[in-house]
Amino acid sequence: MLGSTSKAFFHLLAHSGFLKRLASRYGMRRPTSFARRFIAGETIAEAIDAAREVEGRGFTHTLDHLGESVASLADADAATRDYLRIIDAVVASGVGRNISLKLTQLGLDVDKASAVDNLRRILDRAEPAGFFIRIDMENSPYTEVTLEIFETLWQQGYRQMGVVLQAALHRTERDLQRIMKLGARIRLVKGAYQEPRSVAYRKQADVEAAYARLMKVLLTDAQYPAIATHDPAMIGLARHWSADRGVAADRFEFQMLYGVRRDLQTTLVREGYRVRVYIPFGGEWFPYFMRRLGERPANVAFVLRAIASE
């Protein structure tokens, strides 16, 4: 219960203009500023530096250009062109080719057809260059439309893309079967958003039980699933379940967020598991940052100490 209260509180704070201005002033200005713990920086060059550093430690990565819903087609077009530039910069840099994005960034709230066109523009540039594009999952009003768009493009022949399913949602059991039937890659997460009781489990124990159930199916039956969690219990279960059933360590990957449980990330790589680090970057980092604080209010103390020391 504490979990959902804290999530709700931080989601509320994420809309505060005052906090946003405060964070923007202090969060990124120095290499040691507090937001840099979770966000690689504001520019693509900083993201690529972080990607190199992460690769040097034996991880793979996915780059996420932070941004939430845009309010006009012009902004959606600008976000799409940003992604095209990122693809070119990644190719030029030689780091791994994997990107995560959100459909509302591409204009889903403005016009669905334009968002699909924008995603197609990105895939048309990315797929021939060997990228994998992961479509992040947003809150529950977007679940169905995100999966529909994914299925449409899949039927049109795009294959180097995957989706995210959230264990917290009641519907995910069905969605898992639906996406597995396509043979598409799924990233399983607990779910970062504050959701109504009618669509989601609210108790942490229920979310964890659902995560465990879904993860077991993915590990034995799905195409290269991504187990995206920092929860040592879920990670332990994944290790045992896969080992007991002869699922080799290269048939799936763990995924974790940049700056979260770096110790655990390192341990898993040392043990021979694949670990992909999700590297967010960009000017619009505040809502993402607030979601991370909401997951672990102890992070607030870390932020306050950092602000005080500046």
Ligand X SMILES: Cc1cc2nc3c(=O)[nH]c(=O)nc-3n(C[C@H](O)[C@H](O)[C@H](O)COP(=O)(O)OP(=O)(O)OC[C@H]3O[C@@H](n4cnc5c(N)ncnc54)[C@H](O)[C@@H]3O)c2cc1C
Residues at the site binding ligand X, with contacts judged by CB under 6 A: 136-137, 164, 166, 189-193, 228-231, 255-257, 260-261, 278, 292, 295-296, 299
Residues 96, 86: contact at Cβ < 8 Å? Answer: no
- Say which amino acid occupies 123: L
Cβ-proximal residues to 78 (8 Å cutoff; 6+ apart), any chain:
70
Q: What residue has token string 């602000």?
A: 307
Minimum gap (Å) between residue 9 Cβ and ligand X: 14
Question: At residue 16, what are phi and psi to the nearest 5 degrees?
Answer: -80, 120
Question: At residue 140, what are phi and psi to the nearest 5 degrees?
Answer: -60, -25
- DSSP run (H or E) holding 56: helix 44-56
Minimum gap (Å) between residue 205 Cβ and ligand X: 11
Cβ closer to ligand X: 158 or 258? 258
Determine the 3-state secondary structure of 80 from DSSP.
helix
Cβ-proximal residues to 304 (8 Å cutoff; 6+ apart), any chain:
none
Residues 285, 262: contact at Cβ < 8 Å? Answer: no
Cβ closer to ligand X: 72 or 236? 236
d(CA 45, CA 78): 19
262 catalytic per annotation = no
Cβ closer to ligand X: 49 or 295? 295
Minimum gap (Å) between residue 58 Cβ and ligand X: 17
- Say which amino acid occupies 301: A
Minimum gap (Å) between residue 189 Cβ and ligand X: 3
247-260 per-residue burial string, b: 16 or more CB within 10 A, e: under 16? beeeebbbbbbbbb
291 catalytic per annotation = no
> Which of the residues 36, 125, 185, 187 is marked catalytic?
187
Cβ closer to ligand X: 180 or 303? 303
Cβ closer to ligand X: 185 or 292? 292
Minimum gap (Å) between residue 187 Cβ and ligand X: 6
> Which of the residues 109, 136, 175, 231 is marked catalytic?
136
Catalytic residues: 136, 187
